[in-house]
Amino acid sequence: MSDADRLRWQRRYGERPFEPRPAESWLIDRALPVAGPVADRTVLDVAAGEGANALELAARGGRVTALDIAPRALDRLQAEARRRGLDLHTVVRDLDAPDALDGLGSFALVVIVKYKPSGAQWRAVVDRLEPGGHLCLCSFALTEPQGDAPKPEEGAFDRRGRRSAYLLDRAELQPQLERLGCALLLHEAFERRGDRLEGFVWRKRDV
């Protein structure tokens, strides 16, 4: 991301009041039964935003670190965590920075919802995952192109206004994460309110 991205997200969070939202249902209902109990595990929520997932994972006993580019979002998350009596850690980082995840330690569970890391970011994310740890990813799916149509340019947008670089493509993701030492445990595609989404759970192989 860039300074422009940071300012855009800061403005977006500043334009509306904070309203607590539920955690991603696929993460809770489908991914966590595969990844295992959260209690007492170290958890990294990447691109956490205002922290609906981070709050739920902390409520389940996870030792949560929530990372996002927008300080305003994380300030809201911390305020809501205090209101609920939850303890979690927030970190403002730009994932495009080479050292974005440096100094955070390692995690037993990494959660990414409504975001897709780039190739370089994936390596940094997997490096933060403990051997035997789990990576849960859920976001919008790349539904176009279909068949033999060419893949859109990275800066292009799909017909619903989403940047194509942020849409999940299993054909791209699976070999990429396998090369980084992760085994796919679960993949599901589903629809919600007209959107097509995909969810994945990977396990980092033991050293």
Q: Is the distance from CB of 93 to CB of 100 less than 8 angstroms?
A: yes
The predicted pLDDT at position 176 comes to 95
Which residue is associated with the tokens 């609920």? 84
The predicted pLDDT at position 86 comes to 98
166 band by pLDDT with thresholds 50, 70 and 90? confident
147 band by pLDDT with thresholds 50, 70 and 90? very low
Does residue 26 come out as left (phi exceeding 0), alpha (psi in the -120 to 50 range) or beta? alpha
Interval 93-102 mean pLDDT: 91
% of the chain residues with pLDDT over 70: 80
% of the chain residues with pLDDT over 90: 69
CATH top-level class of 3-204: alpha beta
pTM above 0.95, yes or no: no
Q: Which of 20-24, 102-106, 150-154, 167-171 has the highest mean pLDDT?
A: 102-106
173 band by pLDDT with thresholds 50, 70 and 90? very high
At 10-65, the pLDDT tens digits run: 666 565 666 778 999 999 999 999 999 999 999 999 999 999 999 999 999 999 99
- Residue 118, pLDDT > 90, answer no
The predicted pLDDT at position 4 comes to 62
